[in-house]
Structures are given as C-alpha cells and as structure tokens.
Structure 1
Amino acid sequence: LRNQMRAEIIKLRQKIDTTFIYVTHDQTEAMTLGDRIVIMRDGFIQQIGTPQEVFNHPYNLFVATFIGTPQMNLFENAELLKEGNRYCVKLGDYTVELSEEKQEALAKNNVQPQKCTLGVRPEHMSLDKAGVPAKVDVSEMMGSTVHLHVTSMGKDVVLVVSTLDMSEEEVNGLSNGTEVGFTFPGSVCHLFSNETGINLEA
C-alpha cells in the first residue's frame, strides 16, 4: 500500500507540475519522492542535494548512516595514506587506491595522511578470501541477494552479495561460522574525519 501511495503521489506531482514540500521521517519516501532532499538533525540542516548526491556524497557521518538500507558500514580504525601523490586507504592488511574523482577531491582540499573513519555501503562489498578476514554470524537469503552479517576486526559488518553467479551449494555454504573475506573498490570508499565526522572530500 505504501509503495502504491508513493507512486500515486509522484503521478499527481507530475500532473500538477508544481513544487511540493513533503516532510517525512522515512528515507525511502524522501529518496523516491524528492527531486531534492533536505536532511535535518535536531533542527539543523545537515545536507541539501538530489537523492543521488546525498547517497553518493554524504556530507557527514549522520547523513551517511541515515541514507541507505542496510546502513553504511563504518570502520573507525582506517588509515588514509599517501604514496607519492596518490591516496589510498588501509583497513587492517587490505589497502586500496582511491578513484580519480576522490584523488582530485582530496588533493583539492589538501588532505593529509591520517587515521579516519571509512564508510562502505553493504552492496558495494564483494566476497574475496584475499581481502579483509571475517566470520559469518547470520546469513539472510533474500532471493537475488544474500545479506551476510559478519564479524570483522571486532565489528558487526553487513554485506549484500548477489547470488546470480553463485551456485546453490555456494550460497548454502555461507552459514554461521564460515570464514570469509571481503574487498571493495576505491571508488566506493567514503572517508570521514575522526574529529569532526565530516567527509574529507567535502
């Protein structure tokens, strides 16, 4: 019913062709109904942007964890490194070079190497035993994806893994206690200051 109601509101707005101001606590409604979103916390604006902007470029930790389901994974013990003029991020023994877009943004802000909070969305992580080690706690089969709740580096981490290229045996093998590993590309890393919580690219 909620999905149908959202669709009807979108059709109505398109038909009337006027500006709507819609107030909601539901992030799904905000993302699907809004051309631009104003995210507020305790009466203060945190970020203004299109749904894609706030999803891909969250201004701070609050926005990062508020937008997106399941919630973004946060690793407070990550390190931003600089090798020559190239930035990379290190999590445990796993190191990945950041994308060109992020290289340019960090260089523009003259960001120095530092310990930081790394954010990675569950759907942007891949299973790879050569990556960050983890142990499966709970496996939730969702049809085309499986939601893996794992423990890694003393933290609860969620991965959303596509099952389209996996056999039934491989999916069933992701059971409680299974040792796995995960990786992520440099293009999906969100880096936040440990002091301010603000995105280092902002």
Structure 2
Amino acid sequence: MESERIRHPTAVNVELESMLKDQESLTEKRTALLYSLGNMLPLMQSKAELNEWYESVVALNKQIDTHNVQYLMKIRLQYEKVCQECLSKVQECKDHLEQLVKHTEINCRNIYQYFQDALTLFDNHKCSLVRHENELHSKMNECRNKHENLNKLREVNLDVAVDKLRTQSSDEKLKAQLEKVYNVLDFIRAGNGGGRRGIGRNGGGLL
C-alpha cells in the first residue's frame, strides 16, 4: 500500500501530463479568442460578427469541459485499476489469514487433545501405581503377620520342648529331648533367615 507504484501510479501520471498539455493548448486558444474581441473593436460592423465570436467562445469552453471530463474519467479508471489491484491483494491476505486461523485452531485442538490424552494416561498410571502399592503393602503385612504368628508358634514349641527337657529322668530321654530343642532352634533360625548355625550336641550350648 505504501509503494510508489500504488501512491503514484505511472498510468495516472501519464494521463495527468496529457491532460495538462492539452488543457494548456485549449486555454491558449481561448485566451487568444478573448483577446481577438479587442482587436475587432471598434471596426465590428454587425451583431453577426459578435454572435459568431461568442459562439466560438462557447464552443471552445464546451471543448475544454469535455476535455476535462474525458481525462478525469481516464484518471478515475486508472485509479480504479490500482484500487482493484489493492482489493485483490487485500482479499489474498484475507484468504491467507483465514487459512492461518484454521491451521492455528487445528494445531491448538491437536495440542489440547494430546495433553488431554497424556493426562489420562498419567492418571491411569498413577491409579495403577497406587493399586500396586496397596497390594504390595497388603502382601507385606500379610507376610509379616504370618511370620510373626509362625515365630510365636515356634517360641511356644521351644518353650514346650525346654519344659519337657527339664522333666526328663534318664540320660537317653534327656538327649532325645535335647535333640528336639536343637531342631526347634534350627527351625527358628532358618525361619528368621539366619540359616542353620552350629549347635553343640555335647551340652556345650550354642556355637
């Protein structure tokens, strides 16, 4: 819009120059015609000569008016061509902007859908992690309770075996009961993850 070709179209300048040139020529003719009236006086013999002079002036004025109208029409047409070109550019820009707006809307909608899907996956994954964590805690509590109950049962068996050990009256029975005590201790250690440790079988106690 700010280019020299738009602000000062070449075709318009050409028409203006032609109009001014022809206008100058016609104006000179009219000036000469007007001055001719002075030359005719006081020798003018009749009204007919005056009427003829006036008709020439009127005709020249009409010619000048017609000339001006014609050139103004030409200049207007040239400007209309420029305006039409500008309107075409404006329409082209408008179409481009509309396509850009549609493309932007599609991109924004795709981005929104992408993050919406990502959040859904994240929520599902989070729920899955919470579920697995709860299941793990539940199994750990279950294993801990089973282990505690088993240890209590083993301790009870150990107490029973020790009590029986104190009541044995013969060496054979004492050795047999002591072996049971050792077995219970081994079982308790194995259950606690300590493995089987050496236990004195000759009354020496734990090694």
What interval of TM-score do these two structures reach, taking the shorter chain for normalisation? under 0.3
Higher relative contact order (CA 8 A, sep 6+): 1
Larger strand percent: 1
Larger helix percent: 2
TM-score for both structures, normalised by structure 2: 0.18
